[in-house]
């Protein structure tokens, strides 16, 4: 979608126009006849979020009502969701060009609406012979938003599109070696990002027992990728480490997934896609933040010499882990990556993973689970910006008491709590062990990374959830309490 600024002339329309009508807008500013203004006023009284359509041959005017007096975050989210519904209407009518204007609309409101429109226009349709007719060109009234602000957001939205493409791609097209190669090309294209790819022999020499074990059932070699963005004007003296789960496909291993639980498991690398995209987005928009992404990549298969329950692994940091369930593989590859990242003495470690079904059962698909240890300030900031961009976090208790559920009789710890209790929290506590005292935040995005049914502007399939959250977090990172 091409988004640009321009002057919109209602006396000579060359395309349909979307007019944003907030609560503070005077009716005299509307490009409507007197009876139409009266009708619109009644519709606003009935439903302040209604969409009203007026015909203007050969085009239409879509008046999108919204309540600008709502709390800011709620107002902006309603605009995104209204934009998504309008986009689906435009798609059905096969409209490829629109203009967007309004009066009394602040830049933040306009950005939210365009964001919803852009994200709802995403389709993973490269394998479809018949494709939807989508918006190709959007002209935005130039007096409402500055070009630089629009350009920054466009770069972020396009990065979200690319992230969604990666998560939607089936494993037969995107295995661990291929994804590593793509990340190297992306880093070189963006510039300012250093990409280090470690192959199978290097991983073996590092003795990453978790990543190697999960990879044992696969025909494809594992990869461990590190992306680093270190700008000269960085505000942090030590890096922030971002660790993302990169299970390219998860069968469950020998504890194979039953019924249809294997469907959509191409999305089990969404954490790695998110953390890679965060580094690339920060570089593209020159955020003054030093960040490094650590991405362990493999699939989890029951073939070859697959690891099994009762196996005992020795991890990168020397910790021994008794395997109780091979479908708890994500935490094993993350553990090695977190321990590796801790060597760099980062000021904060943040991991993201589609880690537990327990998170979905507890919280549903509207919010991600979050836990922290030694990172009160960053967690508070992340929760605040999560509310602002409406990619919200539910912060769970993270008490040491939960470690009792990870005790093993034959090793330092087990990889999976065998009871149904506190599955999301114990997974986080397992990972915390490998942070070795570094301030730590764990994000379980299992419920939000991929949708089987359309979820507003997130659409169907890969949602892109988390990138707007982390980008906003790093935009404001200078105020974090350390």
Yes or no: say if 40 and 62 are a contact pair by the CB < 8 Å rule.
Answer: no
Burial track 359-392 (b if 16+ CB lie within 10 A, e otherwise):
bbebbebebbbbbbbbbeebbebbbebbbbbbbb
Residue 149 CB: number of other CB atoms within 10 A?
Answer: 13
Which letter does DSSP use for residue 52 in this model?
E
Q: Which of 331, 388, 429, 468 is catalytic?
A: 331
Based on the residue annotation, tell me whether 257 is a catalytic residue of this protein.
Answer: yes
How many other C-beta atoms are found inside a 10 Å radius of the C-beta of residue 275?
A: 32
Q: Reduced to 3 DSSP states, what percent helix, strand and coil does the chain have, rounded to the nearest 5?
A: 40, 20, 40
Residue 207 bears catalytic tag = no
Q: Could you tell me which residues are beta bridge partners of residue 348?
A: 240
Those residues whose C-beta lies under 8 Å from the C-beta of residue 419, and which sit 6 or more positions away, are: 405
The H-assigned helical ranges of 121-261 are 147-168, 176-190, 200-206, 209-215
The total number of residues shown for the chain amounts to: 482
Torsion of CA 153, 158, 163, 169, to 10 degrees: 160
User: How many CA atoms lie within 13 Å of 290's alpha carbon, on the beta-carbon side?
Assistant: 15
The residue among 322, 314, 297 whose CA lies nearest residue 206 is 314
Q: Choosing from 15, 184, 192, 257, which is the catalytic residue?
A: 257
Pairing of strands 320-322, 312-314: antiparallel
DSSP state of 478: G
Alpha helices in 408-460 (DSSP H): 423-432
Q: Which of 406, 482, 21 is nearest to 237 (CA)?
A: 482
Point out the residues that are catalytic: 257, 331
């Amino acid at each position: 979608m091409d988004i640009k600024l321009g002057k919109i002339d209602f006396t000579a329309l060359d395309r349909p126009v979307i007019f944003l009508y907030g609560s503070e807008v005077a009716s005299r500013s509307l490009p409507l006849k007197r009876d139409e203004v009266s009708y619109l006023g009644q519709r606003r009284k009935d439903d302040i979020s209604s969409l009203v359509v007026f015909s203007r041959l050969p085009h239409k005017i879509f008046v999108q009502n919204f309540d600008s007096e709502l709390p800011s975050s709620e107002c902006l989210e309603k605009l995104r969701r209204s934009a998504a519904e309008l986009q689906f209407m435009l798609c059905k009518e096969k409209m490829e060009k629109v203009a967007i204007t309004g009066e009394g609309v602040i830049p933040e409101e306009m950005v939210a609406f365009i964001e919803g429109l852009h994200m709802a226009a995403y389709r993973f349709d490269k394998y479809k012979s018949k494709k939807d007719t989508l918006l190709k060109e959007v002209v935005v009234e130039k007096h409402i938003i500055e070009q630089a602000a629009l350009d920054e957001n466009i770069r972020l939205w396009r990065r979200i599109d690319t992230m969604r493409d990666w998560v939607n791609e089936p494993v037969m097209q995107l295995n661990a070696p291929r994804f590593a190669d793509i990340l190297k090309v992306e880093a070189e294209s963006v510039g300012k990002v250093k990409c280090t790819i470690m192959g199978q022999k290097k991983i073996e020499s590092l003795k990453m027992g978790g990543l190697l074990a999960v990879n044992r059932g696969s025909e494809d070699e594992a990869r461990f990728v590190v992306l680093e963005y270190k700008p000269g004007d960085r505000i942090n003296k030590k890096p922030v480490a971002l660790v993302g789960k990169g299970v390219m496909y998860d069968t469950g291993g020998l504890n194979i997934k039953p019924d249809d639980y294997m469907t959509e498991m191409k999305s089990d690398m969404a954490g790695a896609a998110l953390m890679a995209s965060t580094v690339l987005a920060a570089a593209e928009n020159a955020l003054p933040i030093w960040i490094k992404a650590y991405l362990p990549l493999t699939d989890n298969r029951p073939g070859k010499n697959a690891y099994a329950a009762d196996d005992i692994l020795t991890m990168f940091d020397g910790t021994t882990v008794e395997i109780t369930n091979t479908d708890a593989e994500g935490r094993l590859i993350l553990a090695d990556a977190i321990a590796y990242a801790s060597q760099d003495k980062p000021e904060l470690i943040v991991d993201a993973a589609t880690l537990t079904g327990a998170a979905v059962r507890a919280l549903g698909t509207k919010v991600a689970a979050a836990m922290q240890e030694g990172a009160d300030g960053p967690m508070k900031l992340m929760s605040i910006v999560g509310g602002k961009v409406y990619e919200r976090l539910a912060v769970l208790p993270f008490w040491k008491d939960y470690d009792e559920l990870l005790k093993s009789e034959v090793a330092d710890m087990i990889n999976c709590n065998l009871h149904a209790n506190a599955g999301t929290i114990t997974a986080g506590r397992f990972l915390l062990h490998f942070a070795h005292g570094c301030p730590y935040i764990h994000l379980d995005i299992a419920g939000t990374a991929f949708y089987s049914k359309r979820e507003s502007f997130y659409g169907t399939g890969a949602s892109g959830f988390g990138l707007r959250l982390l980008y906003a977090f790093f935009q404001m990172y200078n105020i974090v309490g350390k």
